[in-house]
Chain A
Amino acid sequence: KNEVEQSPQNLTAQEGEFITINCSYSVGISALHWLQQHPGGGIVSLFMLSSGKKKHGRLIATINIQEKHSSLHITASHPRDSAVYICAVVESQGNLIFGKGTKLSVKP
């Protein structure tokens, strides 16, 4: 069983739609990262959180530690949001355990 599960694996949306990507984990963590990987391959960190909610522009990330679940929301989606979104948890030794990623495609 994977320690970090993301859903859905693939997501196609129309421009302007509200998007939710989910992440569930089964290990104890100190924090959770949401990462973005564009088709060119580079990976950038979007959010780090250990409780509650964070917002950056049109992106919102939430985490529920008791339920071991996090969500990434994108409001008013745009084709430039097309990317792979990766959830990664920080385990007890400080290393990252990654989900397999959610491939998002936003159509104009």
Chain B
Amino acid sequence: NAGVTQTPKFQVLKTGQSMTLQCAQDMNHEYMSWYRQDPGMGLRLIHYSVGAGITDQGEVPNGYNVSRSTTEDFPLRLLSAAPSQTSVYFCASRAWEGGFYEQYFGPGTRLTVT
């Protein structure tokens, strides 16, 4: 299994540009999520999905859209990038294993908005 993959690894955008961060997992996990990590702060939940066709907002959803058309893919869209969205973005999935939800994280995407 490749686990959770994210592309791109690095991205620089200008204010107002749009882009999609890709996330895919090959473990058939129903639950997937997006987090952002900023200096001096813990990871914060942006959006999550409990299965194909179902998405919900997390703690910091403004400025981001998601969709879940398949179990494998959970892209994160920035419609009009702002400097405040400069961050490292992590996609994750989870599975019920041994009585707990085990978390699997992607390698992250470092986004800079100028």
Contact = CB atoms under 8 A, between A and B. Distances in A.
Q: Give the interface residue-count category, chain A.
A: 20 to 34
B100 A31 contact: yes
B102 A86 contact: no
A95 B33 contact: yes
A92 to B, nearest CB: 13
Contacts of B103: 33, 35, 45, 88, 96
Contacts, number: 52
Which 7 A-B pairs give the minimum distances between C-beta atoms?
A: A98-B42, A43-B105, A48-B100, A98-B43, A100-B42, A41-B108, A45-B103
How would you classify the secondary structure of chain B's contact residues: helix, strand, loop or mixed?
strand
Contacts of B107: 41-42
Interface string B88-114: 101000000000111111011010000
Given A35-B105, A94-B101, A95-B48, 13 more contacts: A4-B42, A41-B108, A41-B110, A42-B108, A43-B90, A44-B105, A48-B102, A86-B42, A90-B101, A95-B33, A97-B42, A100-B41, A100-B42
Interface in A32-54: 33, 35, 41-45, 48, 50
Q: Give the interface residue-count category, chain B.
A: 20 to 34
A97 B110 CA distance: 21
Of A44, A50, A95, A100, most buried by chain B (CB within 10 Å of CB) is: A95
Interface of A: 2, 4, 31, 33, 35, 41-45, 48, 50, 86, 88, 90, 94-101
A31 B101 CA distance: 9
Given A31-B100, A95-B48, A95-B58, A86 B43 contact: yes
